[in-house]
Structures are given as C-alpha cells and as structure tokens.
Amino acid sequence: MRVGARVTGQRGRPGPADAVVLVGSGKGGVGKTTVALNIAVALAQQGRRVGLLDADVTAPDIPLMTGLVRRAPARSWTLSRVGGVQATPLQPVERFGVRLMSSGFLIGENQALAWMADLTELALTQLLWSSAWGELDFLFIDLPPGTADTTQAVLRLLPDATALAVVTAEDAAHADTRKLLTLYASTGIRVLGGVENMSMFVCPCCGTATELFRPVAPERSIWGSGVPRLGTVPLEPRPADAGLLPIVLATPGSAAGVALLAIADAVRVAATEPPPPGPAEPRGPAEPRPG
C-alpha cells in the first residue's frame, strides 16, 4: 500500500517511510511508548508495513516492552562504518509484525550510555538512516519526553514528519506538552492530534469508571490550543496471562483495546491526508540569548 508522497529527510534525502509520525509528550510517565507500540502493532495487523524507532537513546524502553532485552553489555559502539550505510546496515528486529530499532538492542539493559548531545545525535542518526527498514508505509518514532537535544535532532533529521501528542488528564502533562507543541509550530511540524492516556480507571468487577486526576481547565489543555483529540484510553488492570503482548493483541475487546484500535485508525487517516495550507516559511526553534 502506498499512502502518499514519501517523507523527505534532512537536505532532501529520501525518508525512511511514506509517513513518519513522531509520538511525543512534554512530560514523562504518560504512557507514550505504550501508545506508540500499540498503534504500530494495530496498523501492522491491518497489513500495513510499519516500523518503530525508539529515539530515547539513553533510556530505551521498547526492548523491555517487547521482551527483547539485551543482558550482555556492549564493549563498543561503532558510529562510523567503512563503506557507509549500504555496506553494513543495522538490522531491525521484527516483533508483532513491526520492525523495531532501539539502542537497547546494541547495549546492555543496565549499561549507561553517558554521552554528550553530539554523540547521542550521531547514534540517533545511525539508528534512523543506517537501519535496513525496507519499504515502510509508516515509521513511528517514540521520542523522549520534553524538548531537549534528542527531540530537536529528530526535527532536524525529519523536517517533513508529522506528530502525535500524548498526555494524561492532569495539568502538568498538558502544560509541559504545550511547550512541545510550541516547538513543533516553530519548526513547521504538523500535529495530527492528541491522545489522552490513563484518563480514568475502569473497575474490573463492576465496570465503574473513576477519574484519576482533577479536570484540566479547557484553556490550559492542549485541546484548547486546537489539537484534535483522537482518542481517550482508560487505565485497566492487565490480565496475568497477557504477558508482554500489546493491549491491542492481548485484550482487543477491552475498553483500552477498543480505544487504541480506534486511535490507530484515526492516526492512519490523519497521517495520509494532505496537509492543510499553512505558513510558507516556519521559524526555527528559539535560540538561547546570551546573558
């Protein structure tokens, strides 16, 4: 399936997929990786060719969530290869029908990657461009929280990508994610919409839904900024026999499973629609001012 013109990368190089979706949040702990993985798996189950890149180079979670943890520490990481990308590409690992790439496949689970920003960006560039993705309809990129170096590096590498915002129903998550939306706007990244994760707790015995957070004032929410709400995912107990299966495979008929499947469809439609007309020349990210 072809979903449209292929995304272009930095300096006009061909992108890794027809549609690249950055899954991000201004705040950690909102379940961003869970949402990214389940959307990717849901689309793969529909027959789409899907990749998922774990862009949190120093704290990768995709290996743990897919049962592909590397125990042995790496002795080294070669960031420059003789002959270039084509000579010795990195091989993504396929799981649940999704092609996965993460720094967690190259270093041990307990191994610290204490690199400065420039080396981290170089590693991220290698994971993105040196991986043998093959033909992809969608590539989802699981960003680290916030607006720091790694997120800015991804925006430079993939200026034509789109974005999906993930929040919980609390003021801090919306406030921090509004900062991320400001960064997206300044770099011309189109936001497809947002997902509210862990919005409420659904009792497994009686089905009663309980709000977990105090409601966010509309004017302080990302919805008040015009971000389309693509779906709301409740928090549910996970069956003991579900193992490491994503929700859309383990319990697709649950409230969370149904919500995530619907969100995956909404993302698929939004990511393949032509972008609305906008400013011709978006401004770059704010530069720090000397004190």
Q: Which of 134-148, 170-184, 205-219, 266-280 has the lowest mean pLDDT?
A: 266-280
Q: DSSP string spanning 170-209?
A: SHHHHHHHHHHHHHHHHHTPEEEEEEEEEEEEEPTTT--E
Is pLDDT of 288 > 60?
no
**More confident call, 275 vs 117:** 117
Provide the pLDDT confidence category of residue 230 given band limits of 50, 70 and 90. Answer: very high
Q: What is the 3-state secondary structure (H, E, C) of 123-143?
A: HHHHHHHCECCCCCCEEEEEC
Is pLDDT of 177 > 60?
yes
Return the pLDDT at 12.
53
pTM: 0.89
Q: Tens digits of per-residue pLDDT, 32-71? A: 999 999 999 999 999 999 999 999 999 999 999 999 988 8
Q: Which residues of 251-290 are buried (b: 16+ CB within 10 A; e: fewer)?
A: bbebbbbbbbbebbbbbbebbbeeeeeeeeeeeeeeeeee
Do residues 111 and 74 touch, judged by C-beta distance below 8 A?
yes
Return the pLDDT at 243.
74
Dig out the tokens for 32 from the structure: 């961003």
Q: Indicate the length of the chain as a whole number.
A: 291
Is pLDDT of 166 > 90?
yes
